[in-house]
Structure 1
Amino acid sequence: MACKFYLYKGKGRKAENGHPWIYTTEIEGYDGTYENGDIVEVYNFKSDFIGKGYINDASKIAIRMMTRDINEEIDEDFFRKRLNAAWEYRKKVIDTSSCRFLFGEADFVPGLIIDKYEDYYVMQSLALGIDKYKDIVVKLLKDEFGAKGVYERSDVRVRELEGMEQTKGFLTEAFDTNVQIIENGVKYHVDIENGQKTGFFLDQKENRHAIHKICKDADVLDCFTHTGSFALNAGIAGAKSVLGLDISELAIAEATRNAELNGISDRVKFECHNAFDVLHQWVKEGRKYDVVILDPPAFTKSRSTIDSAVRGYKEINLRGIKMVKPGGFLVTCSCSHFMNPDLFKDTIADAAKDARRVLRQVEFKTQSPDHPILWNSDESYYLKFYIFQVV
């Protein structure tokens, strides 16, 4: 018999409208016994059933909803249906050779991320309740989705907020964790064991393709290049020259290797710099480019640091705008959920005003559709991507 949790009057309205989280502050009491990780039932103050999910009272997010059907069991068949639904959706909306296979709450499996790199899969468990089902998920990936190997990248700090240790390693027999993928016609070496996130930033797939049209015969500067994804797309699109910058020597080495893999090393170069420092200097020197790309890491991962993030985004966009030739293009992004779209838009506008340049919007995009945005769970919306002409 599942333990039943009851919410305070006036609480749980978002959950009743489909949001997948119940916070500890919303819970008035419970009937029965439970252990963290168990599936429990959730009811509002009138004892109307809302849904059921797994409990972890060590987390501020106490319950993560798995189903709204009181009769649906959380078992192998449940995960089979969820994984199949996620896969069928992606086959319709994106190139699935490499993609995010499952995006947690937005695919109705809270706390679980699965990325697919050709025939190899990377899993990330962000919550205690999901850890109990990892073996089932691995079995399904192998038996029904042709996984040649599955690797775990649960080496993320958010697990510690759940009272869990960070962990990584093989969930199947060991395999070579350096995998080669092709995206938008660009080849990449992906290190799924030690690379950022699960090895690669899949969420910018369609945005990387969107820059092709502005990069032909252009001189391009790509800041925060990481392993070179935007820079390589610019090169493949026919850029005259591309310079990618990153503060990490390891990332620069990998980006250089990727340029060699694509046979464009003559036009696509990489240098190790702190973008803030070097752009400040290059603005003074009067350097100009046809296209400037800004894809920084998230400057804020909480509400408490938004003000400093705004300053960071404004400063880097100000410097980037100043380096664009008249009639050239600025590509700028924010991957922070807490930097909401209006705030990001206003910050770029302030930077353009200070630079005394006019921005003409060419395109606005979000994360690629294999990272779907759930409208009743705004946490799933985080990536903002603009292309502007700078006049």
Structure 2
Amino acid sequence: MKQLRPYPQVIVTRKAARSLKAGHPWVFEGEVLRMEPAPTDGRQATNGDVVDVFEENGTWQGAGLLSEKSKIRVRIVSRNANDRFDEAFWARKLQWAWDYRKATMGNRALPGCEPDTNCCRVIFSEADGFPGLIVDRYEDVLVAQVGTVGMERLRPTLYPLLLDTLRADGQSIRGIYERGDSPARQKEGLDQHKGWWDGGETIPDSARVMVRENGIVFDLDLENSQKTGFFLDQKYNRRAVRQLASSRRVLDCFCHVGPFGLNAAAGGAKSVRCVDVSQTAIDLARENARLNGLGNLMSFTCANVLEYLPELAKDRARLREEGGPFDLIVLDPPAFTKSRSTIDHAAHGYRQINYDALRLLPRGGYLATCSCSHFMTRDRLAAAIAEAAHDANVQLKQIEERQQAPDHPILWGVPETHYLDFFIFQVV
């Protein structure tokens, strides 16, 4: 088999082979022993090419995409020796990804609301077998992030196939907006850019789009918002908060454009205070409240949550001004760590914000809290929350333990795909 396959070869260490056999799709720079040309025609690999990965003893481990400038040198895309990497191969994988979203989210919409697949992640990188590619759907617009040279080279193939897949299923898609401004592209030697993909498609006039999630309207700026425009991974966690919010005074910390707060208000909250350090986010959250007719229930504060919570604990008059005392507090912070080296510092940060929130909650109050960094594992987060509860002299009754929505699938054997952990507690 080794001599018959038409792809250049990457020979890797036993350590790399063990990791690949366990299901992880990455080969790191230091795990490459040597590279060999394709046995059929002597072709040398170029950046972004499909390559075969072999252990030194000759065992084939899979085929992947080469990234010459990245520490992750090869990303596996197939472990089936019969696969050929033509349009049919990629079309099958795209169809599988869309079928998965329909199966896991197609029948979960709230009564009277839009289908949950109208706003969802369609492609989640390694978890769907497209390493370095993220595609989110916002109603009739797709937003794509390409972070690897292999996916960059495949864009002219993948985008039309993806549009064909969705349109064949009756989905109306008017364009693909590219957010090629992620730092990951620099590690691959790729340029930074934003804009509509013009591969034969009519280019929409604006990167603003009105979307519905859980029946709530959001005005999104796809060009200037964080990530691809919205945080779709919390869709069902927001519903869980909505179910608890009735008649309660809610504090939504790190509110971004207001999705947790809006869900709480839609769930019958007595009042909702949204807090974020970004004035732009606060302005968008306020506008989203207006669009949904919830402005009378919601108020907004531009502040650093890390300073804001301790201030409320010290100043009861300020707490009352802000709408407290609160019965339900939501903590949805940005990732406190993006590397393993800073995990201890991050754990301290999670402990501190949970401690500060717990000091503000009465007995019987509710805390919804999470982490969105895969370096902050579930157990490490749980330990930080437990320490916070101990320091605040309260006990926590766990209501739910949740993760990212299923359109962001967790691939076992690939811990990087499990990045969001979400807990809901009652203080007892």
Shared fold, TM over 0.5: yes
Residue in 2 that maps onto 1:14 = 19
1:62 aligns with 2:83: no
Deviation at 1:230, TM superposition (A): 0.2
Determine which of 181, 202, 218 is the counterpart of 1:188: 218
1:263 aligns with 2:288: no
Rounded to whole Å, the distance in 1 between the matches of 2:119 and 2:90 is 21
Q: Contact 2:91–2:162 (CA<8 Å) still a contact in 1? A: no
Determine which of 94, 109, 124 is the counterpart of 1:103: 124
Deviation at 1:289, TM superposition (A): 0.5
> 1:191 is aligned with what amino acid?
D
Q: Contact 1:221–1:289 (CA<8 Å) still a contact in 2? A: yes
Deviation at 1:69, TM superposition (A): 2.0
Rounded to whole Å, the distance in 1 between the matches of 2:61 and 2:190 is 27
Rounded to whole Å, the distance in 2 between the matches of 1:218 and 1:101 is 35
Query: 1:329-368 counterparts in 2 under 5 A?
Result: 329-368=366-405
Structure 2: state its 5+ residue gaps: 1-5, 38-43, 106-115, 168-172, 320-324
Deviation at 1:109, TM superposition (A): 1.2
* Secondary structure of the structure 2 residue equivalent to 1:123: strand
Residue in 1 that maps onto 2:186 = 160
Rounded to whole Å, the distance in 2 between the matches of 1:154 and 1:384 is 27
Q: Contact 1:365–1:384 (CA<8 Å) still a contact in 2? A: yes
* Secondary structure of the structure 2 residue equivalent to 1:72: coil
Question: Under a length normalisation based on structure 1, what TM-score does the superposition of the two structures give?
Answer: 0.98
The alignment yields a C-alpha RMSD, in angstroms, of 1.1
Rounded to whole Å, the distance in 2 between the matches of 1:8 and 1:352 is 46
**Stretch of structure 1 that moved more, 7-16 or 201-210:** 7-16
* Secondary structure of the structure 2 residue equivalent to 1:46: coil
1:47 aligns with 2:58: yes
* Percent of paired sites with the same residue: 43
Residue in 2 that maps onto 1:174 = 203
Rounded to whole Å, the distance in 1 between the matches of 2:341 and 2:19 is 23
* Secondary structure of the structure 2 residue equivalent to 1:133: helix
Q: Contact 1:372–1:380 (CA<8 Å) still a contact in 2? A: yes
**Stretch of structure 1 that moved more, 164-173 or 372-381:** 164-173
Determine which of 225, 232, 239 is the counterpart of 2:269: 239
Rounded to whole Å, the distance in 2 between the matches of 1:12 and 1:274 is 46
Deviation at 1:252, TM superposition (A): 0.4
Rounded to whole Å, the distance in 1 between the matches of 2:121 and 2:104 is 12
Query: 1:52-131 counterparts in 2 under 5 A?
Result: 52-94=63-105, 95-131=116-152
> 1:174 is aligned with what amino acid?
I
Structure 1: state its 5+ residue gaps: none
Q: Contact 1:12–1:26 (CA<8 Å) still a contact in 2? A: no
> 1:375 is aligned with what amino acid?
W
Offset from partner CA, 1:14-58 (integer Å, 9 cap, x none): 112321111111111121111111111001121111111111121
Offset from partner CA, 1:55-111 (integer Å, 9 cap, x none): 112111000111112332222212211111011011011120110001010011111
Offset from partner CA, 1:127-179 (integer Å, 9 cap, x none): 01100111112212333313211011121111112222222211134312111
* Secondary structure of the structure 1 residue equivalent to 2:364: strand
Rounded to whole Å, the distance in 2 between the matches of 1:117 and 1:65 is 29
Rounded to whole Å, the distance in 2 between the matches of 1:319 and 1:222 is 14
Q: Contact 1:149–1:174 (CA<8 Å) still a contact in 2? A: yes
> 1:157 is aligned with what amino acid?
P
Rounded to whole Å, the distance in 1 between the matches of 2:126 and 2:256 is 27
Residue in 2 that maps onto 1:219 = 249
Rounded to whole Å, the distance in 2 between the matches of 1:120 and 1:74 is 27
Residue in 1 that maps onto 2:363 = 326
Rounded to whole Å, the distance in 2 between the matches of 1:368 and 1:84 is 19
Q: Contact 2:347–2:384 (CA<8 Å) still a contact in 1? A: yes
* Secondary structure of the structure 2 residue equivalent to 1:199: coil
Q: Contact 1:142–1:148 (CA<8 Å) still a contact in 2? A: no
* Secondary structure of the structure 1 residue equivalent to 2:356: helix
Rounded to whole Å, the distance in 1 between the matches of 2:60 and 2:21 is 9
Rounded to whole Å, the distance in 1 between the matches of 2:87 and 2:330 is 44
**Stretch of structure 1 that moved more, 180-189 or 202-211:** 180-189
1:204 aligns with 2:234: yes
* Secondary structure of the structure 1 residue equivalent to 2:419: coil
* Secondary structure of the structure 2 residue equivalent to 1:325: coil
**Stretch of structure 1 that moved more, 49-58 or 365-374:** 49-58
> 2:183 is aligned with what amino acid?
R
1:141 aligns with 2:162: yes
* Secondary structure of the structure 2 residue equivalent to 1:51: strand
Q: Contact 2:16–2:27 (CA<8 Å) still a contact in 1? A: no
